[in-house]
Amino acid sequence: MTESSRPIRTRYAPSPTGDPHIGNIRSALFSWAYARANGGQFLLRIEDTDRNRLVETSVGAIMESLRWLGIDWDEGPDIGGPHAPYFQSQRLPLYRKAAETLMDRGRAYRCFCTAERLDQLRAAQAAAKRPPGYDGLCRALSRDESEARARREPYVIRFAMDREGQTVLHDIIRGDVVFENSLQDDFVMLKSDGYPTYHLALIVDDTEMEITHCIRGDEWISSAPKHIQLYEALGWEPPGWAHLPLILGPDHKKLSKRSGDTAVLDYRDKGYLPEAMVNFLALLGWSLDDHTSILGAGELKRHFDLARVVPNPAVFDIERLNHLNGHYIRAMDDGRWEATITEWCARQLPESVKRPIDPDIVKSVAPLLKERVSRLDEIAGMVEFLFGYEAPEYELDALTERVGGDAEVALKAVDGALVALDAIPQERWDRDAIEAAIRGMEATLGMKLRKFVPVLYVAEMGRPQGIPLFDSLELLGRERTLQRLRTARARLG
């Protein structure tokens, strides 16, 4: 089959060394989108050959992260497929066979150098200010000697790199990248424990699994000459290469844990919506056109193209993510929004609040909340005041904090509100009457609404700001509203 008639096949090939992070999952999203946009297939392969770094729970977290984002796979460890198994640790004979083929062709050799020798070598290279790398000592061993030593000594298998000329990476995103072969060294392909390194396992599996495009993070670009030479030495056709741009933190340094590169599932647990995350990740290096900022998985599946991925770094801007999250919250239909509020209240409200969460309260507060929330973990704190008779607990200082610590002013505000609101009879207790009464306080107190309103927020809600006050007091009802003001006054007095 020619290149163009092969169906597009891409993969996400994480190492199960922890929960997948933002930077890493972007590779999954782009690989998936490229396959989907081209009517191709996307598969999940677990690269678990580094036995020292395995984290038991990772495979579950990897699949959960993908599912949360709506990234589906056609073949993988859980569902199998024509190229099973999809755990590299279960494919060891394939790697050994490739290593042996390379040995037979004189492109690989056993290396018996001890860890001490390699340490000394590294130290000597550092002292002489030369780049680190294996010096090729065991490359000179004869086949017989190598066989004989292999019976008594542990060894690794190294690839014999071509050390002359250049290796050229034809990168779909960056164009041609040229590497000097003299700077390469004979890297380890098969470790003494029989497990392959990434370099060998990658090309064996990408070939065997008929991957047409290797879409991966930019951190792998320096390894590309190894991979290209391996393909050449084995006589296999390499895939198309696409190295995705680096993601930088807001400080324009490489994204770190502190600047946002934390586990994808942490974002879910903080109350980000998957739509917001997909939208956000999609624009870290790719764009649909020069103006679209809101787009979803549907657009990605239809229009994603590697030609519109830029090589220069993308900047991770949490404000943009918050903004997108707010957008998708406001786009939710009532049913989903109410279910979301119920879920987060059940999760985060104190135990003293009765379960199941009162659906009438949820329904009444839902429209008010929608405009005010940009993360779902803000919900419970904002609505807690509606679930009890008294306001949620607050420090006395909170009542005076926004009025310059002046208890007199706070007391005036509370008393003023008591008088104004007490004058509204029960049957006229609604938003408009409440608004008129509270606005009227400006004249009687000689104080701006903006100044005294935080005192009322604290008295009613236990916090200096929240969902709109007038609507909230209507929901709270006349009796509870007045009672909370009396409590505040007692505390201030």
288 three-class SS: coil
Q: Which is nearer to ligand GLU, 198 or 272 (CB)?
A: 198
Shortest separation between residue 219's beta carbon and ligand GLU, angstroms: 7
Using CB under 6 A as the binding criterion, the count of chain residues that bind ligand GLU stands at 8
Q: Which is nearer to ligand GLU, 179 or 452 (CB)?
A: 179
Q: Which is nearer to ligand GLU, 14 or 196 (CB)?
A: 14
Q: Which of 129, 226, 254, 257 is catalytic?
A: 257
Q: Which is nearer to ligand GLU, 284 or 403 (CB)?
A: 284
Cis peptide before 356 (omega within 30 of 0): yes
**Would you count residue 15 as binding ligand GLU (CB under 6 A)?**
yes
Among all residues, whose Cβ is closest to ligand GLU? 216
In 3D, which of 40, 93, 16 has the Cα closest to residue 215? 40
d(CA 151, CA 155): 10
Could you tell me where the beta strands, DSSP code E, fall in 307-466?
Answer: 314-315
Residues 190 to 249 in contact with ligand GLU, rule: CB under 6 A: 198, 202, 216, 220
Q: Which is nearer to ligand GLU, 71 or 202 (CB)?
A: 202
Shortest separation between residue 14's beta carbon and ligand GLU, angstroms: 5
Shortest separation between residue 192's beta carbon and ligand GLU, angstroms: 21
> Among 9-17, 57-65, 270-278, 283-291, which window interacts with ligand GLU (CB under 6 A)?
9-17
370 is catalytic: no
What stretch of H or E contains 63?
A: helix 58-69
Sign of the alpha-carbon torsion through 396, 399, 401, 407: negative
Residues 16 to 55 in contact with ligand GLU, rule: CB under 6 A: 47
Shortest separation between residue 83's beta carbon and ligand GLU, angstroms: 16
Q: How many CA atoms lie within 13 A of 178 on its CB side?
A: 4
Q: Which is nearer to ligand GLU, 17 or 181 (CB)?
A: 17
d(CA 348, CA 362): 14
> Among 12-20, 78-86, 112-120, 308-316, which window interacts with ligand GLU (CB under 6 A)?
12-20
**Would you count residue 402 as binding ligand GLU (CB under 6 A)?**
no
Shortest separation between residue 199's beta carbon and ligand GLU, angstroms: 10
Residue recorded with tokens 């404000």? 319
**Would you count residue 13 as binding ligand GLU (CB under 6 A)?**
yes
Shortest separation between residue 45's beta carbon and ligand GLU, angstroms: 9
The residue within the footprint of ligand GLU, chosen from 9, 14, 108, 221 (CB under 6 A), is 14
Cis peptide before 274 (omega within 30 of 0): no
> Among 8-16, 57-65, 104-112, 344-352, which window interacts with ligand GLU (CB under 6 A)?
8-16
317 three-class SS: coil
Helix %, strand %, coil % of the chain (to 5): 55, 10, 35
d(CA 332, CA 9): 34
β-partners of residue 243 are 216
Q: Which is nearer to ligand GLU, 13 or 44 (CB)?
A: 13
203 three-class SS: helix
Straight-line distance from the first to the last Cα atom of the chain, in angstroms, rounded to the nearest whole number: 87
> Among 11-19, 69-77, 286-294, 469-477, which window interacts with ligand GLU (CB under 6 A)?
11-19
Adjacency order of strands within the sheet including 175-180: 175-180, 166-171, 240-244, 213-217
Please classify residue 452 by burial: count the beta carbons closer than 10 Å to its beta carbon, then call 0-12 exposed, 13-18 middle and 19+ buried: buried
β-partners of residue 44 are 12
Q: Which amino acid makes up residue 169?
A: L
Shortest separation between residue 66's beta carbon and ligand GLU, angstroms: 14
Please identify every residue annotated as catalytic. Answer: 257
* Binding positions for ligand GLU, rule: CB under 6 A: 13-15, 47, 198, 202, 216, 220
